[in-house]
Amino acid sequence: MKRNQEFLNWLDEWFKGLKPATFKDLKIVSGKTALVSVDMVKGFCSTGPLVSPDIAAIIPEIVSLFQNSHKLGIKHFLLFQDTHHPETPEFTSYPPHCLKGSGESETIDEIAGLPFAGRFTVFEKNSISPAYQTGFDDWLKKHPAINTFIMVGNCTDLCVYSHAMHLRLSANAANLKRRVIVPENCVATYDMPVSTAKKIGALPHDRRHLHKIFLYHLSLNGVEIVRSIS
């Protein structure tokens, strides 16, 4: 138990020590960079069974990063969005959500209404991973000059984690130099207290702990974690 507590104390200090960064600090080259948005759809922010106020709370920070990225000259904005088939096996683990053709699977208005929305490339996904049946790997092959990916969205420990790890591990496997950067203030996950989980027969989900531990694990595997990007 003492060893466990030592690690948790260290994790808290690591998280508190995350530093804000600027595009200049990170040496971002606009022509080699893509901004990746994961699941910033209405089904997690405003309507449906999986709406989370913690996810909705990061919308202003994400919109600001979109705007600043566009001002910098970044041209690739990649939106990965849950767009589920009604018979997906995922619905045995989570309530039905973000069905294809429904309002829940639509990009949130705050992002969809940006004046440069014509630059968005939307990838529909039927699982928490971008790696399967989305066409993303084909996009990567067609855009070899893009070697830096800034990632925002939700959930830190599910789709964001899966996406960042796919980018990192696929680059490792192919001996490619690739950067994956996650600003902590632009990612979030949902909360399910133990008491609530017991009442509804679900698994609990501690937002604060899982947010930290999965950011740590991304860092452990070579993903750059910063507090924010401006």
Measured distance CA(19)–CA(95) in Å, rounded: 36
Q: What is the mean pLDDT of residues 11-24?
A: 99
pLDDT(216) > 90: yes
Residue 1 banded pLDDT, cuts 50, 70, 90 = low
Q: What is the mean pLDDT of residues 173-193?
A: 98
- For domain 21-229, the CATH superfamily is Isochorismatase-like (3.40.50.850)
27-47 pLDDT tens trace: 999 999 999 999 999 999 999
Q: ∠ CA(18), CA(21), CA(26), 5° rounding? A: 115
Q: Are strands 187-188 and 179-183 parallel, antiparallel or unpaired?
A: unpaired
Closest CA to 117 of 4, 3, 35: 35
Q: What is the mean pLDDT of residues 12-38?
A: 99
pLDDT(2) > 90: no
pTM: 0.96
Measured distance CA(153)–CA(141) in Å, rounded: 24
What's the mean pLDDT when you consider all of the chain?
98
CA 131 to chain centre: 14
Cα end-to-end span (Å), the chain: 40
80-116 pLDDT tens trace: 999 999 999 999 999 999 999 999 999 999 999 999 9
**Whole-number pLDDT of residue 52:** 97
**Whole-number pLDDT of residue 3:** 77
> Using N-to-C axis directions, what is the helix angle for 159-173 and 207-220, rounded to 10°?
10
| Per-residue three-class SS string for 94-148 | CCCCCECCCHHHCECHHHHCCCCHHHEEEEEECCCCCCCCCCHHHHHHHCCCCCE
Q: What is the mean pLDDT of residues 154-170?
A: 99
127-144 pLDDT tens trace: 999 899 999 999 999 999
Token pair recorded at residue 216:
């740590």
Percent of the chain clearing pLDDT 70 (strictly above): 100
Q: ∠ CA(203), CA(125), CA(228), 5° rounding? A: 75
